[in-house]
A and B are shown apart, each in its own frame.
Chain A
Amino acid sequence: MIAKKICFAEAIALIIILVINRIILGVPKSLLVNSAFSATLTIIFVSIITILIILLINKLFKKFIASDILDISEFLAGNYLKKFVGILYIILFMGISILCLSYICDVLKSIYFESNDKLFLALFFIVGIAIVNRMGFNAVIKSNLIIVILTTIIMIIMFILSIQLFVPERFFPLFGFGIKENYFASLTDVFAFSGLAYIMLIFPFFKNTQDFYKTNIISTIIISIYLLISTICLLLVFPNSVISESIFNMYVLARLADLGEFLRNTDCIYLLFWILSIFSYLSINMFFITNIFKKITNIKNSTATIYSFSLILFVSILLINNITSYNFLLNTVYKYYMITVIVLSIIILILANIKKKKNLPKLK
């Protein structure tokens, strides 16, 4: 078991990689389209709400040290609920993996590999995920820490370089399109903090259980900063109409940010590190999928599970034919599905806490 324990920095990196990928894949765009410059206010507002949710989750987990949502579901209503919740989470992770893989393959195909098939590009990701997951959790988590550090450095460089492209007039309208659009409509943007779903599952992996609570708060703050900076950069560089029409905003931003006269088009360097972060993200997703599957089925052979899910992932990307269907699935289906799963998990946590409280006097 010691081999599967993670330290504080690794846990933070695990949550951050999720949001880095969400940023690369266009979460800021979906935030910006609704609320113009007030998107920054929206992010601050959503961050505060997320931190409150995190505090609630921390409090609810206090009675279930080193347990994940599956263990808690089992405690609440037995094996059936555990399996049901497990399947919900597998669908959640599988869904986002399919969306992510399909999107990055489409983008790579349109930028660099026009003559290659989408499946050929996906094969590279699938091979990487399968190999790395066979090495084990330790390999995925530790390499993820390195990748997060590298990607963060690269993104900071990109943000700094993009300052020269800022157009101050784009600050306006400063408060967006009104309170309703800014705050009430944006409540669903909590989905930008997709790390919430992982928080429900990572508690058993901590070396020091106290780190779990710290990780949740700190990672949420870092995610907020990340989202805020990327949103500001996109807002001040592109007009709102361009943002809503562009497919891969961050890539376009990277293309515009020059490294002096000599190195003008450095976008492929950013892309190299983004691909790395997507590899890491998909591998972490695959780890959670196989781990949940093993937990709900008691299967011992993780290798066969990894291959099976990798194959499903590989074939499933054919379901998404174009960017429009991708946008629909991400912004409508996945967004609400994720919120449902998180709300359901919180309800399970609350009920389990009540049950535990009721059981205590009996034990005494």
Chain B
Amino acid sequence: MNNLKNKILSFLDNLFIYKETNKYDFFLPEKDSEKESTQKEEKAENSKQTDYEDIFPNININLEYMQIKYNALINSDVVIREFNLIAKNNEYKAFLIYLDGMVDSNMINDFILKPLMLRNRANTYVKDNQNKSITIVKNNLGIKKVKKFNLEEYIFNSLVPQNSIKKHTKFKDAISDINSGNCILFVDTISTVFSLEVKGFKARSIGEPSNEIIVRGSQEAFVEVIRTNTSILRRLVNNENLIIENIDVGKISKTKVAVCYLNNIASEDLVYEVKYRINNLDIDTLISSGQLEQLIQDDSTIFPQMISTERPDKAVNYLFEGRVVIIVNGSPYVLIAPGVLVDYLSSPEDLNLKHQYSNILKLIRLIAYFFALLLPGLYIAITTYHQELIPTELLLAIASSRETVPFPLLFEIIIMELSFELIREAGLRVPSPIGPTIGIVGALILGEAAVSAGIVSPILIIIVAITGISSFAIPDFSLSFTLRLLRFVFLILGAVAGFLGIALGIFVYLCFISNLKSFGVPYTSPYIPNTNFSNTTTSFFTKPIWKREKRPSFLNPKKEYEEGKISMLWKKSKKEE
């Protein structure tokens, strides 16, 4: 009895007594002033000025420089192996640098480290006539010249049994080779490095994307192994500014989560926020990226707030925009933060097509979006309350088709919608060879039978089918789910109060998405709030590729411009000629 009394009192307390809400609210500051952007770019340029060109003979300087260049302290896949190289029985300090996941470890062990480190005939052999002095007689004077031992040539010719080896004297060449999967050997006292081809990443055999299929473009998908996924990103980004930070999540599972971003593009606030949220999770286990998504999203709503993809090319495109990619070990889907509404209506195919084609496809998807959300609700509202909108002939056709149906319209639609959801769910759950058959059997036979039996009207079958097909046209699976759920709400609102109910639904829906944020970025960006969306990569209707000059300002990127004012320089030079 006391328990019940306490419960009632606590309920009344919650209802009437004000408690200060402690809502977590993060805003990503927007780049709004030109001045600020130029200052940032200047800062970035200044930091670039410390770039060295030539390789130093002092290995410590080289080592320090490479560590800074690759952010070796935080970059989880950058490996720097320091060791002592033996040549002619002398020991020289040396180090190897490579990207884990992109090289073949066995090749490094057997054909680089073994011959260089272990004492063997090749590296301990000292010729008798080595350092032999040569006497040159010139003007009756004998000059004694000592022929120096050339370490660079010696390593190149005798110590590294590799078929593909290149020598570089510039840092930029060495860095470029590291990014493409080579291993670079730095040796003390010489200002040349050796680029050894030990590429070992998995290429085409990785597997095709099963849920995000496109016609033109990469046919490669992420896999369950985190290192393979990071190597795919490394290979596609091919730049030393890509940072891959590892964080262990889960007290028991200690699941590896990689936070990937481009150091010179992504906003620091965004990166810190992502890392802060992942680092502050008090959970025992983490199995998939879907779980992580729910744990780090801004609000617990039915709307997707992070993009989930199995396509490396899509992830890389977003990385170049200044977003953060999160990879969870054991999950073939990576998360991209932040995600705005426009992203969920875009397909990776859009970037490969000419902008006219992709814009038409996007328009079709937008129509599909509204159909998937509103069509059944509008149908019930119009046929129940606003019949005058329907032309008389069509109205008569609808009325005659419903003549034999004994159920009210709302009940009829709910039956059909539920049947459709059942068929869809069954098609997903049954083994793949039977799946499509279930769909066809369900849709054709069940629909036909329902009409013949007079349970539903034929016109309703068309409405439900269009709604279903529209929901399939939404590129993002999570958004499609959201629309499927909300469709039922609009259905009921339409049935209760026609367009008044639908308007209430639309109004609350609009307010809801306007209020939503993904990692501090408004969900309706770049349109509301009205940030600079002209000539950017993220806008609903894309411009030609040569006009997508800017990165989206709502991401507050360090580098504003993605391409030059005139990106097709060849056209300009032709005109000048």
List residues of A whose CB falls within 8 A of some B CB: 2-3, 7-10, 108, 112-113, 121, 124-125, 127-128, 131-132, 135-136, 138-143, 145-147, 262-269, 271-272, 275-276, 279-280, 283, 300-301, 304
Contact = CB atoms under 8 A, between A and B. Distances in A.
Interface string B499-518: 11111101110111011000
24 contacts: A9-B529, A108-B500, A113-B385, A113-B498, A124-B500, A124-B501, A124-B504, A128-B504, A132-B511, A138-B514, A140-B511, A142-B514, A142-B528, A145-B528, A145-B530, A146-B514, A147-B510, A268-B386, A272-B499, A275-B500, A275-B503, A276-B503, A280-B507, A300-B20
A147 B509 CA distance: 12
Contacts of B512: 135, 139
The main secondary structure of chain A at its interface with chain B is: helix
B391 A146 contact: no
Nearest to A145: B528
B511 A127 contact: no
Contacts of A267: 388
Given A124-B497, A264-B391, A300-B18, A276 B507 contact: yes
Interface in B384-429: 385-386, 388-389, 391
Of residues B382, B502, B503, which shows the largest number of chain A Cβ atoms within 10 Å of its Cβ? B503
Contacts of A10: 528-530
A265 B504 CA distance: 22
B467 interface: no
Interface in B482-502: 497-502
A180 B528 CA distance: 46
Given A112-B385, A301-B18, A146 B510 contact: yes
Contacts, number: 103
Interface string B523-542: 01000111000000000000
B515 A279 contact: no
Interface of B: 16, 18, 20, 25, 27, 382, 385-386, 388-389, 391, 497-504, 506-508, 510-512, 514-515, 522, 524, 528-530
Of residues B27, B510, B512, which shows the largest number of chain A Cβ atoms within 10 Å of its Cβ? B510
Contact of B386 (A8, A112, A147): A112
A268 B388 contact: yes
Given A138-B515, A139-B512, A275 B389 contact: no
Contacts of A280: 507
A143 B503 CA distance: 13
Nearest to A299: B18
Contacts of B386: 112, 268
A142 B502 contact: no
Closest 6 CB pairs of A and B: A142-B514, A139-B515, A301-B18, A275-B503, A143-B510, A139-B511
B506 A276 contact: yes
Given A2-B27, A128-B504, A271-B499, A136 B389 contact: no
Contact of A279 (B382, B503, B528): B503
Given A142-B524, A268-B389, 11 more contacts: A3-B25, A113-B497, A128-B507, A128-B508, A131-B508, A132-B507, A138-B515, A142-B528, A143-B510, A268-B388, A300-B20
Contacts of A141: 514
Contacts of B506: 276
A9 B528 CA distance: 9
A113 B384 CA distance: 11
A142 B389 contact: no
Nearest to B19: A301
Contacts of A128: 504, 507-508
Nearest to A269: B389
Contact of B504 (A135, A279, A301): A279
Contacts of B514: 138-139, 141-143, 146
A127 B528 contact: no
Given A135-B515, A268-B499, A142 B529 contact: yes
A143 B514 CA distance: 6
